[in-house]
Amino acid sequence: MSIAFTFPGQGSQAVGMGRDLAEAFPEARAVFEEVDDALSQKLSKVMWEGPEDELTLTANAQPALMAVSIAAMRVMEKGGLSLRDKVSYVAGHSLGEYSALCAAGTFSLADTARLLRIRGDAMQAAVPVGEGAMAAIIGLEAEDVEAVCAAASAGSVCQIANDNGGGQLVVSGARAAVEEAARLASEKGAKRAIMLPVSAPFHSALMQPAADAMREALAKVGKSAPAVPVIANVTVSPLTDPEEIARRLVEQVTGRVRWRETVAWFGENGVGTLYEIGSGKVLSGLARRINRDLNAVAVNAPADIEAAMQALV
């Protein structure tokens, strides 16, 4: 059985993340310093000291989460890990796809930080605050949530943004339509339908201005073929061509994060272990709910890295 590395998305951030790596490993410190320099901002200070509301801002959370993932990767590489030799695939949840591509060498660290800052700013600016919304629908099948979105949109925008697996889907779009979708989902038998405390309707058609901004930004940045294929969020297929990867990243801004299908794809294609590289354990928890046969391991603290390296090298 082969191995895949996965990289977390927004929501996995927490004040203090990455500080233990920076204190323990010079390779990790170098990553945080390079990200700070690329953004002309002491982002590491926000990551380690807060305040939480500043870290949670989309424009900060996205490069911050990437930085922790790449810090862990650099430590593992220093210890002798070769991604190309040990890992069959990489994938990331939403912004985590950029972390995966940085880890696999498609983008440089500095370029990835700048791309994620552009992405975060553009996603925040795409829709006036208060006009968009997202809601988590728990306990309905995807087909039922599709029907709810179709009924709720009625000339507006409401669509599945994230299919996270484990009976959890997130819908996104215009606030009134999303609120109606949450109501209809409850009527249809959802266990819970919860409006989420987010600042914009991510992964919906309302994000088209942000998609346009990313198309422009990605056209200007250097791109290399990844060391191992990336499983794209929007296609659930392995990609290695840099230009196709860029096109799919543009689509991802307005498209669905098909994480349930991604984890299922791993199980169907010979992957036995998923290592989640970076802050938190969200993806590991989802993987266990989607496919109990997969071994899911979260790697973010120094002790996690030590254990992973004993297994991998």
Q: Annotated active-site positions, please?
A: 94, 203
Do residues 97 and 62 touch, judged by C-beta distance below 8 A? no
What is the phi/psi pair of residue 199, to 5°? -95, -5
Q: CB of 172 within 8 A of CB of 204?
A: yes
Structure tokens at 49: 């000291």
Residue 217 and residue 41: Cα distance in Å, rounded?
A: 20
The answer to whether the CB of 161 falls within 8 A of the CB of 203 is yes
140 CB burial (10 A radius; 0-12, 13-18, 19+)? buried
Per the CB < 8 A criterion, the answer to whether 259 and 162 are in contact is: yes
DSSP, collapsed to helix, strand or coil, labels residue 164 as: strand
Tokens read off for 5:
């590395």
What is the C-alpha separation between 295 and 1, in angstroms, rounded? 11
